[in-house]
Chain A
Amino acid sequence: MKPEFSIILLTVLAGMAEGVLFFLVGADAITLLKGGAVSFDIMLYGVILSVALAGLGTMASFFHLHHKSRGIKAIKRWRFSWLSREVLLLPLFIGLTVVYGICAIIGVATWLRLLSGLAGVFVGLALGISSGMIYCSVRYIREWANPYTPINFVVIGLAGGSVILLATLELVKADHDLIMILLRMAIPVTVIAMTAKGMSYLYNSTAYSSTTLQSAIGAWRSDIVLMDTGCAYENYNTREYFHKSGKKIERAMIWFVMTVLFILPLSMLTLDYVAVFNGHPSTWGVLAALSMLIGGLAERWLFFVQGNHVQNLYYGRFVDKNGKNPILQPGKTAGPLPPVS
């Protein structure tokens, strides 16, 4: 599938916003349990960060719509369409985050603040799941239609959010104990995200759709060659469902994503942990957050590129179970095909 930058930005930033609120509320609760309290300005920074990330994501999402003024109509079918649910939950998430922030600022009762925070976390997780389910419910793309998709959307968002919140705390020179609490949560969550994503890549390396050209056109012959796609050059179907330059670097990008999204940040977080544990101020978290942001964008880009839609069968762009595709291997199959941009 063709990666669209607006969707990549929306899913990555909204996922991180969910993660920031999740760990802000988590740190708030743990500090309360330990008998302390998260300072007023830290809460403010955290809420502003979460709202800013989610707001940027929302702005990016509008660039995906061709009729922006009709965007509100997208909530109509929330009972049936995951896309509707995402559109409904995103402003709700931002609203609940703001409510949590207001509760922290005006100093309402602790249970009320935690309750609003938990509501925000719950809606954030639901938002992450519905973002993932948008892709998971496209059953004609095997790389998307598996349980790893919503799991990855949520855990990568959580991991990214935890590290970005950590980076912010380090930048504003937050309390040592608070940074330790966050580090102890960020490292395991990043490891979980790495495992989930690794399993997803493993699954995708062997998963393929059982649909064949034979079944797609109903000609039960083993030797079928596509001669003409019915278009003189390109059309919507050849552009939207296949990304040639991306497919070429797909394997290399898997290693890039695993390194920049997980391995580099994890090593930096370990260094950070060692430094903070020994009582030194450290800014490794900032570098880890930058690396995760780049890796997160690359991961979502690769997620789109990996999508192999069955309609590609009609255009000779389908990647078969051997990982072979006529377009990517010129000269190996017969039949003229239109050029791909």
Chain B
Amino acid sequence: MTQLALVIDLAKCVGCHACAVNCKEWNTSGTFGPLPDGEPYGKEPDGVWFNRVQTYEVGSYPDVEVFYFPKSCMHCKDAPCVKVCPTNASHKRAEDGIVLVDYDECIGCKYCSWACPYGCREFDEYAGVMKKCTLCVDRIYDEKLPEEERVPACVKTCPSSARTFGDIDDPDSAASVKVRDGAGYMPMPESGANPSNRYLAHRPVKTALDEERVIVKKHQFVEEAEKTDRPQDPEYFDFAG
């Protein structure tokens, strides 16, 4: 069985919301769009997003850490939303395990969203159908795109490479290796939905600078000042750090 999913490293996520924004951009103009907005520039902006980044603070002062939790459809193996759909609009693809909504079948009863423990389905009031993350099914199989770009928009855009896309049922895929090496976990395992997306736990990442290997390049103003006989402004040296 193939089960495509996302593996998200919470230690690498910097909370920039680029995945959420790029998801919205791609899917609004993609096959499964649009993702409508109500009053986007008003006081009460309200819109459909397939992906949202939530921010949590753990610990108490002074040992406080902030971490980010990007949450999109988990493409559960025992998807409860698929089980309750009265029309078969919500379905799980046998070939790759992606959970999709057929907008032509959906009657807009919202029952699937009640059955989802993760709150990953958002209703489109304008089209009257339920919408959700498609794992960019219109990107990952698009043969017009170069091979390395056939990944979901959120994975493509992530600046810190926190997101990995792959088949988690294939033990040799990059996603599975990450899960295995980084002790990937599933959120809310007691939900019984058997979510496919995995998270690598948030852990403190120490960055140490090796002083000897740091190349300090003098600022051009400093270099110019050193060449001339002009009295050197101490502020220039601040640039060089």
Write the residues of chain A forming the contact surface with B, with a CB cutoff of 8 angstroms: 1, 64-67, 70-71, 73-77, 80-84, 87, 134, 137-141, 210-211, 215-219, 221, 223-237, 240-241, 309-312, 314-315, 334-335
Contacts and interface: CB of A to CB of B under 8 A. Distances in A.
Contacts of A232: 45
Contact of A211 (B69, B114, B188): B188
Contacts of A210: 190
A228 B45 contact: no
A299 to B, nearest CB: 19
8 contacts: A74-B86, A80-B83, A81-B86, A223-B59, A234-B44, A236-B122, A309-B119, A314-B118
B226 to A, nearest CB: 47
B86 A77 contact: yes
A309 B54 CA distance: 18
A153 to B, nearest CB: 16
Interface in B11-56: 17, 20, 43-49, 52-56
Interface in B62-108: 66-67, 69, 71, 80, 83-88, 105-108
Contact of B60 (A218, A223, A227, A233): A223
B123 interface: yes
B107 A65 contact: yes
B86 A65 contact: no
A265 to B, nearest CB: 31
B57 A83 contact: no
B107 A219 contact: no
Contacts of A217: 54, 56, 69, 187
A80 B107 CA distance: 17
Contact of A70 (B107, B121, B122): B107
Nearest to A135: B114
B153 interface: no
A235 B84 contact: no
A90 to B, nearest CB: 13
B185 interface: yes
Interface in B112-145: 113-119, 121-123, 128-129
A225 B67 CA distance: 11
A216 B118 CA distance: 8
Nearest to A236: B122
A77 B88 contact: yes
B129 A67 contact: yes
Contacts of A75: 86
B109 interface: yes
A335 B52 CA distance: 18
Interface in B196-217: 199, 201-202
Contacts of B87: 70, 73-74, 76-77
Nearest to B46: A234
B201 A73 contact: no
- Residue of A1, A76, A140, A223 contacting most chain B CB atoms (<10 Å): A140
A241 B119 contact: yes
A314 B60 CA distance: 20
**Nearest 7 pairs between A and B by C-beta?**
A66-B128, A66-B108, A311-B119, A230-B52, A228-B55, A84-B86, A74-B86
B110 interface: yes
Contacts of A65: 107-109
Contacts, number: 162
Given A218-B199, A233-B46, A235-B46, A140 B115 contact: yes
Contacts of A71: 107
A235 B189 contact: no
Contacts of A221: 58-59
A311 B56 contact: no
Contact of A215 (B57, B128, B189): B189
B116 A311 contact: yes
Nearest to B84: A81
A226 B109 CA distance: 30
Given A67-B128, A211-B117, 10 more contacts: A73-B87, A87-B86, A137-B84, A211-B188, A215-B190, A216-B188, A217-B187, A228-B54, A233-B43, A240-B113
B192 interface: yes
A223 B58 contact: yes
B86 A231 contact: no
B111 interface: yes
B199 to A, nearest CB: 6
Contacts of A141: 114
A219 B67 contact: yes
A230 B15 CA distance: 10
A225 B45 contact: no
Contacts of A140: 80, 114-117, 191
A234 B20 CA distance: 16
Contacts of B199: 218
Contacts of B60: 223
Given A65-B108, A67-B106, A230-B53, A237 B119 contact: yes
Given A66-B128, A215-B188, A230-B20, A335 B57 contact: yes
